[in-house]
Structure 1
Amino acid sequence: MTRDSDVLSDPKAMRALAHPARLMILNRLGVEGSATATEVAEIAGITPSAASYHLRMLAKYGFVEDAPPRGDGRERVWRPVNRSIRVGVQPGDQPDVRDAKLSLMQAFRREANEEADRALAGIDQEPDEWRDATRFNRSLIRVDAEEMARLNEAIQKLIEPYVARGREEADAPSGARIAEVQVNLFPVAKRPVPGLPTEDHDAR
């Protein structure tokens, strides 16, 4: 089962994927390749039987599939399906679809933040060339909706040649490793104004 891109709209599939352990398992398979339930259980902090259940649920909704067996074939081996997952809230979404989309996007954001936090916490242990190449940037831009959509397309085209699911180790330079790109494009929402405090505590 191979898909270049998949816009999720099934609320059951989105709720299944939003589970923290399943996101960890899917990330582990994407980074390190095919694995058994026992191998992914440790990174997710669950038992092998629980990992097996989560893998079956991911397979039910088309996120993972069977990989070629190893050795005597006793243990089932899994791999991620070659699909790029996209989620976006649309004006015509039914309430259950909208809620499932928001829940999944929040889960994605939590996992992305955790990934960035781990990278930042370990930055001092990275070799100089990797430390120098690491960037955590934020930029405010002034665009209309059409320009922002075009910018997103341009960024995706720039990244595409390097995406791990389409670039074998043999095709990458020596010393290449898995890295992560996080791109967020969104209109800045107005911040709530808390109002002035009733007392000036700093003056005391």
Structure 2
Amino acid sequence: MRPDRSLKGLLHRYEVNASHLPSSTGRVTIVAKQKRVEISDPRAIRALAHPARQLIIDELYSGRVLTATECAELAGLTPSATSYHLRALERWGLIERAESSEDGRERPWRALGTGLKIASQSEGAGRLATQAMMRGYVDRLIEQFEELPADDPWEELSSLSRSRLWLTHDEATELANEVTALIDKYRKGRSATERPAGTRTVSTLVAIVPTGKPPEQS
């Protein structure tokens, strides 16, 4: 029997939560190895929490270079409203202006890296913004799961999994680092504009969430 692919069935089988990893200092950090942009400043996280900005960031961090007009069409906003959001993302070091387009009429935008990591904030508006963003990511992933046609030849690869592990703090840190390294391994420098024939986008969402009470100090 084919498994229940409805939203209700999916949520019944899986629980996905936001990733709570140790944050770094500063506003934005760019990791040189994969040029992954890491955000820890609560204000930068709040700047990214707007739904329209998330849509734009998703496209730009996939390797696309888009004008404000193209971003407006993507987000369903006016060009002037979209320009406001783009300038906010630029101000927090998430995107930058690219070279002028061939026709010279509108200078496009591009991401500052090939990946984006959002570190959690332990309190305040930064944490609320992080949680709102993660809910948005989960919702979009579920939509993609439901929209995948049953006759798609790659359908059998779609999956979500949930595990409960008993780990020390060092082991949990090691797990987070290994998962990040594995995702980076499969990036292979590919993007929406530079990729081999036969490839397609595969969305991933990894969550590592400490639960229960912390162990008592001896």
Q: 1:11 aligns with which of 42, 50, 64?
A: 42
In structure 1, the residue matched to 2:209 is: 186
RMSD in angstroms over aligned alpha carbons?
Answer: 2.6
Partner of 1:153: 177
Aligned counterpart for 2:117 among listed residues 69, 73, 85: 85
Aligned residue in 2 for 1:196: none
126 and 178 in structure 1: CA distance in 2 versus 1, 3 angstrom threshold: farther
More helix by share: 1
Shift of 1:51: 0.8
Unpaired segments of 5 or more residues in structure 1?
Answer: 91-97, 191-204
CA pair 168-150 structure 1, distance change in 2 beyond 3 A: same
Worse-superposed segment, 169-178 or 136-145? 169-178
Equivalence for 1:122 = 147
Secondary structure at the counterpart of residue 175 of structure 1: coil
- Structure 2 residues without counterparts, runs of 5 or longer: 1-27, 214-218
Cα gap change, 1:148 to 1:17, in 2 (>3 Å): same
Distance 1:32 1:156, change over 3 A: closer
Tell me if structure 2 keeps the 8 A contact 1:2–1:81.
no
Q: Secondary structure at the match of 1:137?
A: coil
Cα offsets for 1:126-161 (capped at 9, x unmatched):
621x21111111112222222111111111111112
The structure, 1 or 2, with the larger RCO (C-alpha pairs under 8 Å, 6+ apart) is 2
Matches within 5 A, 1:1-204: 3-4=30-31, 5-31=36-62, 33-82=64-113, 84-89=116-121, 98-124=123-149, 127-128=152-153, 130-163=154-187, 166-168=189-191, 173-189=196-212
Where 2:109 maps in the other structure, the secondary structure is strand
CA distance in 1, matches of 2:66, 2:175: 36
TM-score (norm 1): 0.77
Q: Return the alpha-carbon distance in structure 2 between the equivalents of residues 14 and 103 of structure 1.
A: 9
Give the Cα–Cα distance (whole angstroms) in 1 for the partners of residues 190 and 86 of structure 2: 24
Q: State the 1:182 CA deviation.
A: 0.8
The structure with more radius of gyration: 1
Q: How many residues align?
A: 181
User: For the Cα contact (< 8 Å) 1:87–1:101, is it kept in 2?
Assistant: no
TM-score, structure 2 length as denominator?
0.72
Q: Secondary structure at the match of 1:49?
A: helix
**Seq. identity, %:** 35
Relative distance call for 1:114 and 1:161 in structure 2 (3 A) is same
4+ runs of 1 displaced by more than 4 Å? 168-173
**AA of the residue aligned to 2:66:** A
1:103 Cα deviation after fit: 2.3
